[in-house]
Chains A and B, each alone.
Chain A
């Protein structure tokens, strides 16, 4: 049988997970080249131009996220909107306090509750 993981390792894992969820989001990769750039017109987005990937320096910090799945970034000297379907955004969205470890008020324990296909 393997040795149990020290408490500090669990604490670091939980803290790390929380940190991933709180970190600012960045566009780290493009799925389309050239990339479509959008403008916000009242409550809908229209494509305004297409930019070659070579003209875009990554990563780009996400300044705002719309409820329609577009993200605002600072591109060179202006703020533009990109379609989140066309780019990769990191870090990924959070999973709350999901885990294989029971937690309550930030107290971590070594005990597992339940087990699913991804719980190892």
Chain B
């Protein structure tokens, strides 16, 4: 009966994942002749800023994927631009913070807690502060308009757990030559998997509103709306590139692993990638439905600008300030370091251990050395080259310093479980607290406490796990905790 109920809940969960929770409109109908900013944020500029020290929730979720790419100079510049946009609002603005990430796609995302994440490849491609301000203004507009009241956190957590389950519960699969290498490959694969679940699913109407409020903020802050139009042009380019490959591929890393059924990863995870791949395909299909084509968005924005800003002054695009930071030799070396980290990971997936280590070493000699993704690439490369001791010593230091990716914490945990269960339990507990009671760690905590004969803790943790699993209809989580409890 319980299994039937759970199966039904699981099915409901999958169906629920297929539809975005619709935000209640909640806003009164507005005069279509008003700009968005006049409709919702009328009043003179207050000249105030509110840059968050940290946006904990979204940062934690981002760490479950590729993490962020901290760089003092770049971070300051990004948030100076955000501050300039905030000053044009009446009253105190909603708190937010901009981060660079080590992702390679041409997109960006913002979240309910004000976290705004921009891939370094975007920063490398833009050419003016106005374009950057247009991008940040668009993402910040989502925060101001409270567009993120969806169940994305549950969706991301479910997907992350599915990916994490591949990783944690892959014991007992068909025999593989090197257990550690198998885990590293799964780790590599699931990083990308987790990133998909983090993209917020917003409606067309929300994207259009953010386009419009974004240019309102841009112009009020003294930037040129040509920056917004230039950015839209780049988005059209990105869409064209993606369309070109749409017919030829599904999930990239799965295609790689499909090269041969004898590949170590294919043997290790035994068809579970198909399940994960189906979820990803569904998510990507839904994302496509929720966005207008690039040229439609550009046309709509052009019409809005003509309606409200036809006679507005058009300042010169601010190219020099942008180049002074994002095209500086230091930033170029930083971006190059991230490229090298990606190259190391790519070589790893091709099982070219020597090349992976070569690139990883270059990456840690660059200004990107302290980026968690760079550390991840080095640790994986060292392990693949038979230097497990060095790798895990490094990983332990990174975990202790709180700069490891979440998946790498799980990797260390898996290793410690074999050699030192007490240390493993301490790590699991710290990680659980650090990652806001991450559900992926509950099965591990149950298993380790059981090993240490902490029966009361086992029951307590199992109770928490069952509660979370049932409330989020997450049968995979419940199954893992059942298995851990025995």
Contacts and interface: CB of A to CB of B under 8 A. Distances in A.
A binds B: yes
B104 interface: yes
B340 A104 contact: yes
B105 A119 contact: yes
Given A13-B245, A98-B119, A116 B103 contact: yes
A94 B235 CA distance: 9
Interface string B388-402: 000000000000000
Given A99-B241, A116-B199, A119-B105, A110 B256 contact: yes
A89 interface: yes
A93 B245 CA distance: 19
B249 A104 contact: no
Contacts of A93: 230, 233-234, 237
Given A92-B237, A103-B339, A111-B345, A98 B255 contact: no
A111 B229 contact: no
A73 to B, nearest CB: 17
B229 A85 contact: yes
Contact of B66 (A107, A110, A114): A114
Nearest to A91: B237
B481 to A, nearest CB: 28
A120 B280 CA distance: 9
Contacts of B317: 67-69
B233 A92 contact: yes
B125 A120 contact: no
B339 A20 contact: no
Chain A binding surface SS class:
loop
Contacts of B449: none
Interface string B185-203: 0000001110110010100
A9 B104 CA distance: 19
Contact of A4 (B103, B124, B195, B256): B256
Interface string B103-144: 111110100000000010110110000000000000000000
Interface residues of B, number: 74
B59 interface: no
B180 interface: no
A118 B242 contact: yes
A42 interface: no
29 contacts: A1-B250, A13-B244, A13-B245, A16-B244, A68-B316, A69-B229, A69-B314, A85-B226, A85-B305, A85-B306, A92-B234, A92-B240, A94-B125, A95-B125, A96-B106, A97-B121, A98-B104, A98-B121, A98-B125, A101-B252, A104-B340, A110-B350, A111-B346, A112-B252, A113-B66, A115-B193, A116-B199, A117-B284, A119-B107
